[in-house]
Amino acid sequence: MLRNVAVFAALLITTMPPAALAADPEHARLAALCGTWDVEVTFWLQPGRPGVTTKGTSTIRPLFDGLFVEEKIEGTLNGTPFTTLAWTGYNTFTKQYEATRIASTNTIRIAESGSYDEAKKAFELRAAYPLAGDTWRQRTVIETPSPDGMTAASYLSFGSVPEWKGVEIKYTRRP
């Protein structure tokens, strides 16, 4: 146990300073997402069914000198307010983007990880989590074609149900 604590402490002391990490391309991609955005969110609760669309606000801000970003989305769905929170960072050891997402609408914590494709200007993150007695799979694609617009789509599947688009968020940066 003491050995683990010593290794952890050494790791904390010998890592790069936050300012150096925030300057790398991986963390710069996250910093570019920061700001206030108008969002249009569409939910497809079942495959092949019509979506339900609402509008809201996303606020993305840097944490710990840009090592992570926090996103807060607030909106109203069918007259009921909702909030989602997400924390995303780039893990320099695994070379993966990692995100944790929670929402006011359920008790699930979703932990995703993945990469960025420079040619597509898109992040792709994947997760698996238990829900309603099954293992759900989620693939989130965040496309960043311009500094003032982006789209995030989460594709869901479970059991033998094929993947379907479960959520799409269209972002427009506020001036």
CATH number of the domain bearing residue 43: 2.40.128.20
Mean pLDDT computed over 100-122 = 96
Q: What is the DSSP code string of 97-163?
A: EEEEEEETT-S--EEEEEEEETTTTEEEEEEEEEETTEEEEEEEEEEEEETTEEEEEEEEEETTEEE
Instruction: Summarize pLDDT for 56-73 with one digit per residue, the tens.
Output: 999 999 999 999 999 999
% of residues, the chain, pLDDT over 90: 81
Q: Number of folded domains in the chain?
A: 1
In a domain, 3, yes or no: no
In a domain, 40, yes or no: yes
Mean pLDDT computed over 38-48 = 93
In a domain, 2, yes or no: no
State the residue range of the domain holding 62: 19-173
Provide the pLDDT for residue 21. Answer: 52
Provide the pLDDT for residue 36. Answer: 98
Provide the pLDDT for residue 9. Answer: 42
In a domain, 14, yes or no: no
Provide the pLDDT for residue 1. Answer: 55
Range of weakest confidence among 12-26, 59-73, 118-132, 160-174: 12-26
Mean pLDDT computed over 139-146 = 96
- Is it the case that residue 11 has pLDDT exceeding 80? no
In a domain, 11, yes or no: no
- Is it the case that residue 20 has pLDDT exceeding 90? no
Mean pLDDT computed over 22-35 = 91
In a domain, 5, yes or no: no
In a domain, 6, yes or no: no
Provide the pLDDT for residue 167. Answer: 96
In a domain, 51, yes or no: yes
